[in-house]
Structure 1
Amino acid sequence: MCPMSASLDTDLVRRLVAGQFPQWAGLPVERVPSGGTVNAMYRLGDRMVVRLPLYEGGAADVELEQEWLPRLAPLLDTAVPELLGAGRPAEGYPWPWSVHGWLAGDNPQPGALSEPALLAQDLAGFVAAMRNITLPGAPPAHRGGPLASLDAATRAALEALRALPEEGVDCDSLAAVWEDALRVPGWDGPPVWLHADLMPGNLLVADGRLASVIDFGCMGVGDPACDLFPAWNLLPPDARVVFRATLGVDDATWARGRARTLSQAVIALPYYRTTNPSMAHNARHVIQSILGEIA
C-alpha cells in the first residue's frame, strides 16, 4: 500500500533523474520555494523543473497533466508547462512525476500589479482560449460541478471562521453572498475547458503582463464560472471590470464565480492560517475583495 505522503530532498530528486533520464544526470538540482501544497518543484539545470507530488492525492494530478498538457499547449497562445519527461516511481518514491521546461516570470502580488488592466485582458484571453477548446474525452474539472456541491463545505468553513473572531471576518455578509448565489441559475450550456485553479501562485508575469499559466492539476471541463477566480483573488476593482467586460460574463455566471472564489477562500483561511502564510493571505484578500464589491 502506497504511503499517504513522501519525504523529498535534492539527493532523491537527483537519483530519480539520473536513473530515468541519464541525459540530464549531473545537472544541478535545487528546491524551488513555493506556497503550493500539492507538489514540490526542483530546478534542474537552467532550463527545466522537476515536479513531484507531496502526497498520494497529487499523483492523479500529475498523470492528468502528462496526458492533457501536450494536447492543450498547441491550442493556447499563452505559454504553459512543456512536458519533457514522464517519471516513474523509483528509489522509494511511490508516484509518477514530471520534468517540464522552465518558465520564467514572477507570481503576481495582489495590490502590487504594475499593469492591472492589461493583465486583466491577458487573463481574459487565456480563459476564453481555454473555453474554446473542443478536445474530446475531457475529464471533469476539479470543482467544476454545480455550485450546490460546495454548499456543505462552505457553510462549515463559515462556521469555523465565526469561531475565529481575531480574523475579523464579516461572516453574515459572506453567508448572504453565498445564499444569493445558490439561487441564481446554474450553467445550462455544454461544459467548457477550465484551468480551474487560477490562483496568483499559478500565474507568472513579466513586465506586468501574463507570461505563462502553470499547475494544471485541476483542469477539465465544467461551469465557466470556475475560471473567474482572478477577479477577486488578484485584480483590483477597475481591472476586475475590464476582466468581466473582456469575457462578456453574464450576471448569473459572475455571481457563481464570486461564490466559488468565496468558497475556496473561506475553506482555505481556517485551514492554512497557521501553516501556509501565502494561502492564508490570499484567502483574506479574496474575502476583503468580495466584501468591498458588495458594500
Structure 2
Amino acid sequence: MPVKPPAEVDLTADLVRALLADQHPDLAALPLRLLAHGWDNATFRLGDDLAVRLPRRAAAAHLVEHEQRWLPTLAALCPVPVPAPVRVGRAGPRFGWSWSVVPWIPGEHSADVAVPARTPWAPELAEALSALHVVAPAGAPVNPVRGGALAGRSATLLGRLDAGHLEAALPGARDRWLALWHDALGAPAWPGPPIWVHGDPHPANLVVRGGRLAGLLDFGDVTAGDPACDLATAWLTFDHRGRAAFRARADAQADARGTVDRGRWRRAAGWALVMASAMVTHGEDDPVIAAIGRHALGQLAADRA
C-alpha cells in the first residue's frame, strides 16, 4: 500500500532556527519544537503564539506560495481564524522554497474529539465554509485534484477500488461505491462561476475549543472551483446527527444567497468518496488520516443502506 512520500529535505529545529535567524532574527530565540510532518508540510510551534510552516517536498512548495498570496484575502472572509502568514520566508541557500510564520490557533484538532461531540459546532462549520464560498478572482489557483469536475477523478478512484484499498477498509461495499460514484457523476454540475474552495476541510484541519469551532487550518489545497468539494466534510467529520445539522445550515446559507444548485449533495458525496479513498489508500503511516477515511466510508455506506 502506498505511504506518505518521504521528505526531500531534512527539516529540523536547527534548520528552522537558522532560517529565522537569517530572515526574522527577532523571532529566532523563541522556543521551537516540531509538531507535525504532514503529507506536504511540516509544522513547528514557535513560542506561545506562532508556528512555522515549511514544505517538505518540491511538489508542495507552490502550495505554500498560494497560502502566502491568498490567505489574507480568505481570512477577511472567514468568521473563524485561519493561519494567514504574519511573516514570509523566502527561498535561499539554506532552504530552496518559500515558508511561512503563521499564527498559532489554540485548541485541539477535531479529529481528537469524539464524533458525536462534534454536532454542536456543525452549523458553525457550515457558516464558515459558506463565508468562504464567494466568487474567486481571476488568477486564483486551480488545483487539479480539488474542486473541478468529478469525472477528472474517476480513473484514480476506480484504480483504488480495483486495488482493493476500499474493500480492506469496508468489506463488501464495492457495489455501493460504484452506485454512489455513478450517481455523483450524473448529478447536475455546479451552475455558477468558480468559487473559493478550502479543498481539505477534514477533521484534522479543524480546530475546536470549548465546544466551538475555533479555526480552519491547512489551505494548501485552496482552489477556485465547485463548493460541493468542501461539503464532503459532512461525511468526513460528522455522524448522521451532525451531518443533518451541517446540511441544514449549509442549505439555509445557500437559500439566503439565492443559490440554486440541485446537485450539490450528490456531488459532495462523490467528493467524500474520493477523499476517503485517498485517506485509506495512503494512510498506512498516519493512523489519524486513515481513521478519518474509514469513518467517512462508513457514513457514506450507512447513508446508502
TM-score norm. by structure 2 comes to: 0.89
Shift of 1:231: 0.4
What is residue 75 of structure 2 aligned with on the other side?
Answer: 73
Contact 1:78 1:212 in 2 (8 A): yes
1:271 aligned residue (282, 298, 301): 282
Q: Name the CA shift for 1:88/1:123 in 2 (closer, same or farther; >3 Å).
A: same
What is residue 140 of structure 1 aligned with on the other side?
Answer: 142
Q: CA RMSD in A?
A: 2.2
Query: Which segments of 5 or more consecutive residues in structure 1 lack a partner in the other structure?
Result: none
Amino acid at match of 2:147: G
1:236-258 deviations in Å (ceiling 9; x for gaps)? 10121111111117551101101
Amino acid at match of 2:299: S
| Cα separation, 1, equivalents of 2:92 and 2:113 | 43
Shift of 1:160: 1.2
What is residue 187 of structure 1 aligned with on the other side?
Answer: 190
Contact 2:71 2:84 in 1 (8 A): yes
Matching of residues 1-295 of structure 1 within 5 Å: 5-33=8-36, 36-109=38-111, 112-113=114-115, 115-132=117-134, 135-141=137-143, 142-161=145-164, 165=168, 168=171, 170-248=173-251, 251-272=262-283, 274-295=284-305
Amino acid at match of 2:269: R
Q: Name the CA shift for 1:162/1:12 in 2 (closer, same or farther; >3 Å).
A: closer
Contact 2:116 2:238 in 1 (8 A): no
Of residues 136-145 and 216-225 in structure 1, the stretch that sits farther from structure 2 once superposed is 136-145
Segments of 4+ moved more than 4 angstroms: 133-136, 162-167
| Cα separation, 2, equivalents of 1:44 and 1:111 | 25
Shift of 1:113: 4.4
Contact 1:29 1:44 in 2 (8 A): yes
| Cα separation, 1, equivalents of 2:279 and 2:235 | 15
Of residues 69-78 and 245-254 in structure 1, the stretch that sits farther from structure 2 once superposed is 245-254
Aligned length: 291
| Cα separation, 2, equivalents of 1:111 and 1:40 | 23
Query: Which segments of 5 or more consecutive residues in structure 2 lack a partner in the other structure?
Result: 1-5, 255-260
Of residues 175-184 and 113-122 in structure 1, the stretch that sits farther from structure 2 once superposed is 113-122
| Cα separation, 2, equivalents of 1:201 and 1:107 | 5
Q: Name the CA shift for 1:237/1:114 in 2 (closer, same or farther; >3 Å).
A: closer
Q: Name the CA shift for 1:50/1:162 in 2 (closer, same or farther; >3 Å).
A: closer
Shift of 1:69: 0.8
| Cα separation, 1, equivalents of 2:250 and 2:159 | 32
Give the share of equivalent positions with the same residue, in percent: 37
What is residue 257 of structure 2 aligned with on the other side?
Answer: none
| Cα separation, 2, equivalents of 1:194 and 1:253 | 14
Where 2:214 maps in the other structure, the secondary structure is strand
Amino acid at match of 2:48: D
1:27-63 deviations in Å (ceiling 9; x for gaps)? 11101136x3111000111111000001001111100
| Cα separation, 2, equivalents of 1:4 and 1:282 | 23
